[in-house]
Amino acid sequence: MQKIALIAAIAENNAIGFGNKLIYWLPNDLKRFKELTTGHTIIMGSNTFRSLPKGALPNRRNIVLSRKESSFPGTETFSSLEEALANCNNEDIVYIIGGETLYRAAMPLADYLCLTEVMDTPANADAFFPEFNRREWEVIEEESHPADEKHSHSYRFVTYSRRKD
């Protein structure tokens, strides 16, 4: 049965972006993102696709949601999340990679949240991960990291699974 995971790096106030760019550049977060999503389907909004420096991400099935455009090189395009998911029936896990509007639409369907929680509140943000009731989720994996020469803030990788009770 298909599972849906939302994956994001979020600040303490749930900020995820500013000016169609990620707020944080955390090499270990990017490495984790690649490890988790490689070999799987990723679904993104058109602005998220445009923010990717080299376009479609390699070694993944890239799906872009857009009602207006249909030309996103190296991707498949669908007009709705429901249509995209219906075309992913054989997938074991599908990753939702942003942006804000797509995260909000997918949150009720999500089985997992794969978050990098950054111990910071940025001065500027215009895109946010949706609030979620932590009582509806259980932590199944957690790993803390201090700030270092490559990471300006401490952070933790947390994987949440939706509670079944």
Q: What is the pLDDT of residues 153-164, one digit of tens each?
A: 999 999 999 998
What band does 95 get if pLDDT is binned at 50, 70 and 90?
Answer: very high
**Which of 91, 23, 21 minimizes the C-alpha distance to 9?**
23
Max alpha carbon distance in the chain (Å)?
43
**Angle at CA of residue 83, ends 134 and 47, nearest 5°:** 70
Give pTM, 2 decimals. Answer: 0.95
Give whole-number Cα distances, 108 to 6, 11, 23, 41, 56, in Å: 11, 21, 25, 19, 26
